[in-house]
């Protein structure tokens, strides 16, 4: 769990505001933006997620508070190299399809966060070099995953669950690694 905010709580809040982003995409986005921009990612990603929503809505204010908590928690976990960092995904109670779709959405958001920030030549070079380039390629592949819907009793539930757990762990470690790899390219904010 990335913070005290669950995937379902954030998803409901985002839907309530009319945002086109879901919880997994949103957490992926902030994680990717933090890797590239560090603390400077704050305001821009929030506006991106809430673009087109009613700024005067009480639901938006509640959602902004959740997003602020998510941002602070995610930034702290990445910056302090905390092993509790994990993609914000649905719980085990959700279907395999919903969980798999959320994995793909988290990767979409993360990749969008990496590429939507301004890129100078040193950053472009780091993104194109290993291990970051390989992680980006892997995440692009994950955005294409889907569950075979041919029957619910495939007999492969244990294998599917194990594969899901391994992918989540890979994403957790990969996001931390990319954050470390891009440390020298991030703007340094003096407080």
Residue 61 has pLDDT above 50, yes or no: yes
Backbone angles phi and psi of 145, in degrees to 5? -70, 150
Percent of the chain residues topping a pLDDT of 90: 66
pLDDT tens digit sequence for 5-35: 999 999 999 999 999 999 999 999 999 999 9
- 32-69 b/e (C-beta count within 10 Å ≥ 16 → b): bbbbbbbeebbeebbebbbeebeeeeebbeebbebbee
Q: Specify the pLDDT at position 154.
A: 52
pLDDT tens digit sequence for 150-174: 444 455 778 888 999 999 999 999 9
How much is the mean pLDDT over the chain?
Answer: 88
The stretch 121-132 carries a mean pLDDT of 92
- Are 114 and 32 contacting, i.e. CB atoms less than 8 angstroms apart? yes
Residue with tokens 């959700």: 94
The structural domains of the chain, ordered by start, are 7-185 (1.20.120.740)
pLDDT band at 3 (very low <50, low <70, confident <90, very high): low
Q: Specify the pLDDT at position 146.
A: 62
Greatest CA separation for the chain: 56
Cα 88 from Cα 33, distance rounded (Å) = 15
Q: Specify the pLDDT at position 160.
A: 83
Residue 186 has pLDDT above 90, yes or no: no
Cα 152 from Cα 66, distance rounded (Å) = 35
């Amino acid at each position: 769990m990335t913070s005290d905010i669950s995937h379902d709580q954030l998803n409901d809040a985002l839907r309530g505001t009319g945002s086109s982003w879901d919880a997994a995409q949103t957490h992926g986005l902030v994680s990717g933006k933090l890797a590239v921009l560090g603390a400077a990612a704050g305001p821009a990603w929030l506006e991106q997620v809430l673009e087109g929503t009613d700024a005067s809505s009480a639901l938006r204010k509640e959602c902004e508070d959740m997003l602020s908590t998510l941002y602070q928690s995610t930034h702290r976990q990445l910056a302090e190299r905390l092993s509790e960092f994990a993609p914000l995904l649905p719980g085990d109670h959700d279907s395999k399809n919903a969980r798999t779709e959320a994995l793909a959405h988290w990767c979409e958001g993360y990749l969008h966060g990496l590429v939507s920030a301004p890129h100078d030549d040193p950053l472009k070079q780091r993104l194109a070099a290993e291990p970051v380039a390989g992680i980006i390629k892997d995440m692009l592949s994950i955005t294409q995953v889907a569950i075979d819907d041919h029957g619910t009793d495939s007999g492969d539930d244990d294998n599917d669950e194990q594969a899901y757990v391994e992918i989540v762990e890979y994403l957790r470690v990969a996001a931390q690694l990319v954050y470390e790899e891009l440390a020298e390219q991030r703007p340094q904010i003096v407080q």
